[in-house]
Amino acid sequence: MAKRIDSTPKKDGYRMPGEFEEQEQIFMIWPERPDNWRDGAKPAQKTYAAVAAAISRFEPVTVLASPAQFANARNRLPRDIRVVEMTSDDAWVRDCGPTFVKDDKGGLRAVDWDFNAWGGLYDGLYFPWDQDNMIAQKICELERIDTYKTEGFVLEGGSFHVDGEGTVMTTEMCLLSPGRNPHLSKEEIEDMLKDYLNCEKVLWIKDGIDPDETNGHVDDVACFVRPGEVACIWTEDENDPFYQVCHETYAFLREQTDAKGRRLKVHKLTMPKKQVFLTGKEEIDYIEGTIPREEGDICVASYMNFLIVNGGVIVPQYDDAYDSLALKQVREMFPDREVVGVSTREVVYGGGNIHCITQQMPKR
Amino acid sequence: MAKRIDSTPKKDGYRMPGEFEEQEQIFMIWPERPDNWRDGAKPAQKTYAAVAAAISRFEPVTVLASPAQFANARNRLPRDIRVVEMTSDDAWVRDCGPTFVKDDKGGLRAVDWDFNAWGGLYDGLYFPWDQDNMIAQKICELERIDTYKTEGFVLEGGSFHVDGEGTVMTTEMCLLSPGRNPHLSKEEIEDMLKDYLNCEKVLWIKDGIDPDETNGHVDDVACFVRPGEVACIWTEDENDPFYQVCHETYAFLREQTDAKGRRLKVHKLTMPKKQVFLTGKEEIDYIEGTIPREEGDICVASYMNFLIVNGGVIVPQYDDAYDSLALKQVREMFPDREVVGVSTREVVYGGGNIHCITQQMPKR
């Protein structure tokens, strides 16, 4: 059903919409693997269910669960959430899922990027990743969506944001990492982004804040609030491990114009007061092929990893002193949306947050 | 997404439409298990693909494939057929899939019967059957269809036919088998059929033709061609192993009136000239929990196991001397439909045919 299209979205007049444009549904993958999620993934499953429930107040949610976890996921999730069997290697549909593109005639297609677990054999987080690499195609079959396949070009959905009007934002730390597309120059990578997201201008932020896991995905650092406006992580605490990245990124974004020539307006979004670290008390299995998670490892927490949905914004909360400040700042950025905080420390333990575990499908 | 409804279709004004009414799509399950399908299921997969391709000329087809077989199924099936991951125990969606019911306001729901591999621990064909038993629910989740669940009531889709106007046709051999619902009387079983298919009259044919496998499913013996008209298997060869069943069933049906009081018109449909037997040359794995398939076992072949689709009828062909006679007779029954034969000996080796491996979802 999902045909492969041997062309590019740009050639065919399809573009990736901004996350703030109208959506049809949100996809998530049910967490399961005990070598990533503590305590048999039970705390993470509770948190994913809370995130799914929060989103489902605004729009339909489909949760993809493995054959082994299907009945359990169905039982733990509210009945208005659709549960569909789909095997995966972990639970990050932002990164292994499709990137949907639409035209102005009601057409909806998707880009199926290669996925290699954030670095493949160079510095990927687990091996193998074959099931994750089929997720985009399987979702598109499910929804009867034709796809563009970028054979040999690795990209994760969390490594870029678009404004839907010709501008894409990404990080050099991730896209130029040797674990992604070392055979391509920066210009060639930029051309791929332009062709497949249908953009004219790429804003290259230098660094992300998690060099070891996603190699610095932009979705922990900055995003588009609407065309012409971005949010950027911020701290005034010089002891914050990300003080320098915050200030460099903010200064960079303030100087940028977008594809339409607009000088960007930049909103500051606080970092949590304290980062989260593994204590060694988490029960995490050892499995061959997986980078072990060990005591003292940082679990990078950023409020930026929120998800924009129809009429709402779902924002991570960390039981941190700055939780309510973050909500207040997001509300100021999105005065017309209901801003909902969900406690998601358990997702941080696994290596990401609300944006990483969701993927929006735009309205046709 | 698929809510459980604590009521019955009859109470809510939902009825099972006749197979000849308009359909939205056909479901199939990709065959795989090497203890049922010869030679690693490769010949069966080719045949299923041919059946799917034949149906897809008339309406959309969704093929459900296991995680292990997803990529292979996707590769072997034409691109206009949707392939969706779904784990099963075998490949008989007629029997483990949902029975769809509709109302006259565009509503579509489904009945999720209990499934126990044609007899459970009494005389079921394999153990376990937990994945098959989740197929109906998973299909309904996929299609966002609310379901009626008959906890504790076992039934397979191939064991009954309806005319969509209040009449259901089944066999005593199957529905009164000790492997189904031995705690219920015939009257109680009849009431379940009436409540969940929304019918007023049950026509009880005595026997089917495969006592050992499905315990005599009606879909090898008779079906509704349209309201008031049925087809019945037929042979004049006294040495045919099913001579007696053919004649008894024909005589029975000729005497029946349907729920609307119409005396049934009965079309004869020839049996194949020769039945199919396992030769012992088929490579069939031995697996714990599965009834072995052995040399000399009969593989019951009936032309009755056809599928009615929008504008067409897909009819089994067995490389038998009566293949073209069967097509001619089906064409006479369905003068307004295109009748297509597909060579399906390989499905017979596995224990069924085109009707057994398909499930129609009616148009909303």
Written as one string, the DSSP assignment of A102-150 is E-TTS-EEEEEEE--TTTHHHH-SBS--HHHHHHHHHHHHHTT-EEEEE
B85 at the A interface (CB within 8 A)? Answer: yes
> Measured between beta carbons, which residues in chain A are less than 8 angstroms from residue B68?
none
Confidence check: pLDDT of B250 > 90: yes
**Beta carbons of A82 and B137 less than 8 Å apart:** no
Residue with tokens 């400040």: A325
**Average pLDDT, stretch B164-178?**
98
Q: Which residues contact A185 (CB under 8 A, 6 or more apart)?
A: none
B140 at the A interface (CB within 8 A)? Answer: no
Mean pLDDT of chain A: 97
Q: Is the ipTM of this complex over 0.85?
A: yes
Burial class (CB in 10 A: 0-12, 13-18, 19+), A331: middle
The bridge status of strand A167-171 relative to strand A160-162 is antiparallel
**Average pLDDT, stretch A150-172?**
97
In this prediction, what percent of chain B has a pLDDT beyond 70?
100
B141 at the A interface (CB within 8 A)? Answer: yes
Nearest Cα to Cα of residue B231 among B198, B201, B205, B194? B205
Confidence check: pLDDT of B238 > 80: yes
The bridge status of strand A201-205 relative to strand A167-171 is parallel
> Measured between beta carbons, which residues in chain A are less than 8 angstroms from residue B81?
1
A87 at the B interface (CB within 8 A)? Answer: yes
In chain B, which residue ranges form alpha helices assigned H by DSSP? 9-12, 42-56, 70-76, 93-96, 120-123, 130-142, 172-175, 186-197, 243-254, 323-333, 345-350
What is the number of other CB atoms lying within 10 angstroms of the CB of residue B133?
19
Mutation site for B-interface testing, chosen from A85, A86, A135 by largest number of B Cβ within 10 Å: A85
B2 at the A interface (CB within 8 A)? Answer: yes
**Average pLDDT, stretch A60-80?**
97
> Measured between beta carbons, which residues in chain B are less than 8 angstroms from residue A87?
67, 70, 85
- Count CA atoms within 13 Å of residue B70 on its CB side: 22
In this prediction, what percent of chain A has a pLDDT beyond 70?
100
Confidence check: pLDDT of A272 > 90: yes
Nearest CA in chain A to B86: A85
B80 at the A interface (CB within 8 A)? Answer: yes
Q: Which residues contact A77 (CB under 8 A, 6 or more apart)?
A: A49, A52, A53, A63, A83
Q: How confident is the model at residue A1 (pLDDT cuts 50, 70, 90)?
A: low
The CA distance from B81 to the nearest CA of chain A, in Å, is: 5
In this prediction, what percent of chain A has a pLDDT beyond 90?
95
A134 at the B interface (CB within 8 A)? Answer: yes
Between A and B, how many CB-CB pairs are < 8 A?
Answer: 64
Report the distance separating Cα B226 and Cα A243, nearest Å.
75
Nearest CB neighbour to B85, from listed A3, A71, A87: A87
Decide: B327 and B339 in contact? Cβ < 8 Å: yes
**Beta carbons of A137 and B81 less than 8 Å apart:** no
Confidence check: pLDDT of A293 > 90: no
What pLDDT, in 10s, does the model give residues B63-94?
A: 999 999 999 999 999 999 999 999 999 999 99
Confidence check: pLDDT of A291 > 90: no
Nearest CB neighbour to A1, from listed B70, B80, B85: B80
Nearest Cα to Cα of residue B115 among B84, B88, B144, B143? B88
Nearest Cα to Cα of residue B64 among B40, B50, B82, B84? B84
What pLDDT, in 10s, does the model give residues B279-305?
A: 989 999 988 889 888 899 999 999 999
Report the distance separating Cα B73 and Cα B66, nearest Å.
9
Q: Given this model, what pLDDT does residue B291 score? A: 87
Confidence check: pLDDT of B1 > 80: no
Residue with tokens 């007023």: B200
Q: How confident is the model at residue B150 (pLDDT cuts 50, 70, 90)?
A: very high
Q: How confident is the model at residue B11 (pLDDT cuts 50, 70, 90)?
A: very high
Q: Given this model, what pLDDT does residue B292 score? A: 86
Confidence check: pLDDT of B58 > 90: yes
The CA distance from A247 to the nearest CA of chain B, in Å, is: 45
Decide: A85 and B85 in contact? Cβ < 8 Å: yes
**Beta carbons of A142 and B142 less than 8 Å apart:** yes
Q: How confident is the model at residue A292 (pLDDT cuts 50, 70, 90)?
A: confident
Q: Given this model, what pLDDT does residue A298 score? A: 92
**Beta carbons of A79 and B4 less than 8 Å apart:** yes
**Beta carbons of A142 and B144 less than 8 Å apart:** no
Confidence check: pLDDT of A2 > 90: no
**Beta carbons of A83 and B1 less than 8 Å apart:** yes
Q: Which residues contact B61 (CB under 8 A, 6 or more apart)?
A: B25, B26, B27, B28, B52, B55, B81, B82
Does residue A356 carry a catalytic annotation? yes
Q: Given this model, what pLDDT does residue A274 score? A: 95
Mutation site for A-interface testing, chosen from B27, B85, B86, B132 by largest number of A Cβ within 10 Å: B85
Nearest Cα to Cα of residue A270 among A210, A315, A314? A315
Q: Can you name the residues that pair with A205 across neighbouring β-strands?
A: A171
In this prediction, what percent of chain B has a pLDDT beyond 90?
95
**Average pLDDT, stretch A98-125?**
97
Q: How confident is the model at residue A47 (pLDDT cuts 50, 70, 90)?
A: very high
**What domains, with CATH codes, occur in chain B?**
9-362 (3.75.10.10)
